Chains A and B, each alone.
Chain A
Amino acid sequence: MDLSLKPEHKAFADEVRAFARENLSPATREKTFSGKHYDRDDHMVWQKALGKKGWLAYTWPKKYGGPGWDVTQRFLFENVLAEEGAPRILPFGPKMVGPVIYTFGTEAQKERFLPGIRSSEVSWCQGYSEPGAGSDLANLRTRAVREGDHYIVNGQKTWTSFAHWGDWIFCLVRTNTDGKPQEGISFLLIDMKTPGVTVRPIIMTDGAHHVNDVFLDNVKVPVENLIGKENEGWTCAKFLLANERLGIAEVPSSKRGVSVLRKIARMEPQDGRTLADDPAFTAQIADIDLQVQALEMSELRVLSTMAQGGAPGPEVSSLKVRGSEIQQRIAELTMEAVGEYAQPYQPGMLFHDTNETPIGPDHAPPAAPRYFNMRKTSIYGGSTEIQKNIVSKMVLGL
């Protein structure tokens, strides 16, 4: 066992860093460190650069056009990019649907869809949740009825992140209503330009628009867009969720969050000194710092198992729970660090490039909105309550 880096891994980290410094726009980087929202270009320009380099689908094996990296390389890649202020890679294509396609798809489907995902030329969104089926995913009602060589799809998806940017959506649809709710679900790829697909924004508590309702009204989908077998989509769904819950712990961005928080504490005045001189406050930062380290090490242990060919098991649910708590706590402490100046609301400073000057310090405007917004981390991707049920049932046998 060894935690220290071999020379070739150090060289790899340097290569990633050099790439980020050359390709990441300074404006995007600035948004990361100041906590502003990215616009579409921030994501797309960066992802296309990664795609060109062959690094966007960095978790994929070589066989499917990925770089075939080992677990240490993946870890270094994520961490270096977070340190450099890169936006997180939108996971829907490269981390979610891509692996489903190369694991369960036909050769024709692989040829058709994987290149666009690797290059970020085609962007994806996830059609899992429905108004009646959030955490209770198996309760989904969107119907796909086969008519000849097409499915006719009717229903509503919700909380669809970046549906307004998406070219394609991967959906769980009900193809059979008999039997257990998990049976009779299929995994379907739908072109967002198909007639009958409507996207409606949902505005979040910080005023941001990331998520949407997606209405599917008699949408005609060719049968060749079905992944895996009809009525056996639950297998794809579970495979995807296990992958999702691993990355969702967001360790690299939490590490960056802790270091930004320390920087803010050194700048925030208190009683003629700074907040960094307040042991009650800095102890709270230290506490969260150590939690991040524990989470990171737990995640490395899972990755190490995966490197040996294992799949992420239900224990990743506990990583997701802890990861979301940590993200929330960092956001909370950052807002508390700003104190009274967290009160002004300046949407212009969150969403647009603007010449408006901040009220209070530069780091103040995003602090409270981010705290409000981060409450979602314990809800999306399977709520904390659901994750704990999974651990208690699948890991502890309760």
Chain B
Amino acid sequence: MDLSLSDEQKQLQESAERFAREKYTFDNRRKIAATERGWLPENWAQFAELGWLGMAFSEEDGGYGGGPIETMIVMEQFGKGLVLEPFLPTVVLGGGMIARAGSAAQKEALLAPMIEGKKQFAFAWLERQSRYNLADVSLKATKEGNGWSLSGHKGVVYNAASADNIIVLARTAGSAREPKGLTLFVVDAKAKGLSRRDYPTQDSLRASELTFDKVSVVADAVLGKVDDAFPTVEEAVDRAIVALCAEATGCMDAINAATLDYIKTRKQFGVAIGKFQVLQHRMVDCFTNAQEARSMTLMASLKIDDKDPTVRAKAASGAKVQIGKSGKFCGQSAVQMHGGMGVTDELSVSHYFKRLTMIDLMFGNQQHHLTRYSNLAMAA
């Protein structure tokens, strides 16, 4: 057993750390968040140049042969800086699904330019009634000549406004909430009949509501097998969850560091408030929570490539439960220990807290993943 990073991985960590530190000072982040796009093209170009967009993909897919650990390393630093560039929807979700389910032609048309930084993606799976059930899909795709016609609604689609292509989960057969009968389509973001309502999210990212009104796509737009997209989606989402967990560990490190610094310097009753045992113990609990989050994230990153889907799913759900729990504890504690300053917009603390909160809600909260883990463990 060896849980240390290789030299290449250490270099990656250093360069990602430098990027977050230099390009994502809190003031810079505020400025980037206020732009219309919500992220910076020059940063994206830098990601491509540094090889981050292709690091987790195999060499035959045009990537650099890394995997989940590389993703973990970068996402953790993104969490420290509260980075806004759409790495998760484009590279982890979009790129991940294309690499696993795409044809050679699709990989060439989509994955190669993505790795070069020339294409971005969004993944549209959620609907109003879905909550966290990935199979609760009613957007319909019906045969139309050689191709398909898509009609229905998708919600909270991250990066839809910047994406070149939207990867859409549609129902081609079966009844509501049936995992069988789902199909993935790669849709041009400018397709006729596709309309968008864009908005910022609580944590300053960008998402959209999408309406599909008889959007026509060709037969080649199908990603993977017709009626059999569910395993691809479940796996891609599990990978995204593990990446989010890594981002959350970075957030927790940053928010804990800020709090520790604050309680060492903020004085009340004539002493630094960090001298009070009740805050010391709470700070220790924050530290322990962040350690547990890091451990579960690392375990999940190491197991996410397992061929057994149950091992993979349990690892992802297990880590998500821990991140939900730890993120809430560290976030709420940081706000509390900062006192009134913690609930203002002007300190980074509230922004880390918001991101940690939204990460808990994405792809299933603590309660949802505890239930999923429990069901998987009981079935074994």
Interface residues of A (CB under 8 A from B): 129, 132, 134-136, 139, 158-159, 202-205, 207, 211, 268-272, 275, 280-281, 335-336, 339-346, 359-361, 368-369, 371-373, 375-376, 378-380, 383-385, 388
Contact = CB atoms under 8 A, between A and B. Distances in A.
Nearest to A372: B354
Interface in B99-132: 126, 128-132
A379 B344 contact: no
A339 B207 contact: no
A345 B343 contact: no
A368 B357 contact: yes
Nearest to B278: A385
A385 B339 CA distance: 11
B288 interface: no
Given A339-B131, A341-B155, A385-B276, A139 B269 contact: yes
Contacts of A275: 131
Contacts of A269: 128-129, 131
Interface in B249-287: 267-270, 276, 278-279
A74 to B, nearest CB: 30
The binding surface of chain A is classed by DSSP as mixed
Given A271-B136, A343-B358, A359-B197, A372 B131 contact: no
B354 A376 contact: no
B199 to A, nearest CB: 5
A281 B365 CA distance: 12
B7 interface: no
Given A280-B371, A281-B367, A136 B269 contact: yes
Interface in B337-380: 339-340, 342-346, 350, 353-354, 357-358, 361-362, 365, 367, 371
B343 to A, nearest CB: 5
B267 A204 contact: no
Nearest to A275: B131
Nearest to A138: B269
Given A385-B278, A388-B278, A270 B339 contact: no
B361 A343 contact: yes
Contacts of B354: 205, 368, 372
B243 interface: no
B219 interface: no
B279 A270 contact: no
A340 B344 contact: no
B344 A203 contact: yes
A134 B267 CA distance: 10
Given A340-B156, A343-B362, 8 more contacts: A204-B344, A205-B350, A335-B361, A336-B365, A343-B361, A344-B201, A359-B199, A388-B278
Given A270-B131, A272-B177, A379-B339, A204 B345 contact: yes
B340 A158 contact: yes
Interface residues of B, number: 47
A380 B340 CA distance: 7
B211 interface: no
Contact of B343 (A129, A204, A360): A204
Nearest to A368: B202
A205 B128 contact: no
Contact of B342 (A344, A346, A379): A379
Given A203-B346, A375-B332, A376-B343, A343 B268 contact: no
A343 B207 contact: yes
12 contacts: A139-B269, A205-B345, A271-B131, A272-B129, A335-B361, A339-B365, A340-B131, A340-B361, A342-B202, A343-B207, A376-B343, A385-B278
A159 B339 CA distance: 11
For the complex of A and B, list the 6 residue pairs with the smallest distance between their C-beta atoms, beginning with the closest. Answer: A205-B350, A136-B268, A269-B129, A203-B345, A343-B201, A376-B343
Contact of A340 (B155, B343, B350, B353): B155
Nearest to B282: A385
A385 B266 CA distance: 15
A134 B136 contact: no
B345 to A, nearest CB: 4
B177 A271 contact: yes
B43 interface: no
A346 B336 CA distance: 25
Contacts, number: 132
Contacts of B343: 204-205, 372-373, 375-376, 379
B367 A280 contact: yes
A139 B201 CA distance: 40
A134 B344 contact: no
Contacts of A202: 344, 346
Given A271-B136, A345-B200, A375 B345 contact: no
Contact of A159 (B278, B340, B358): B340
Contact of A342 (B278, B353, B361): B361
B335 interface: yes
Nearest to A339: B131
Contact of A134 (B336, B339, B346): B339
B195 interface: no
A139 B269 CA distance: 7
Nearest to B209: A359
B50 interface: no
B176 A272 contact: yes
B133 interface: yes
Contacts of A343: 156, 201-202, 207, 358, 361-362
B358 A383 contact: no
A385 B336 CA distance: 9
B208 to A, nearest CB: 9
A395 B342 CA distance: 30
Interface in B198-256: 199-202, 204, 207, 209
A271 B136 CA distance: 7
Interface string B126-146: 101111110010000000000
A369 B269 CA distance: 32
A388 B197 CA distance: 48
Given A344-B199, A345-B202, A372-B357, A378 B336 contact: yes
A340 B126 contact: yes
Nearest to A271: B133
B128 A360 contact: yes
A270 B129 CA distance: 7
B281 to A, nearest CB: 11
Nearest to B267: A132
Contact of A341 (B128, B200, B270): B128
B133 to A, nearest CB: 6
A271 B135 CA distance: 9
A103 to B, nearest CB: 28
Given A132-B267, A375-B336, A369 B276 contact: no
Contacts of B361: 335-336, 339-340, 342-343
A380 B268 CA distance: 15
Contacts of B357: 335, 368, 371-372
Contacts of A383: 336, 339
A384 B335 CA distance: 13
By CB atoms of chain B within 10 A, which of A360, A378, A385 has the most? Answer: A385
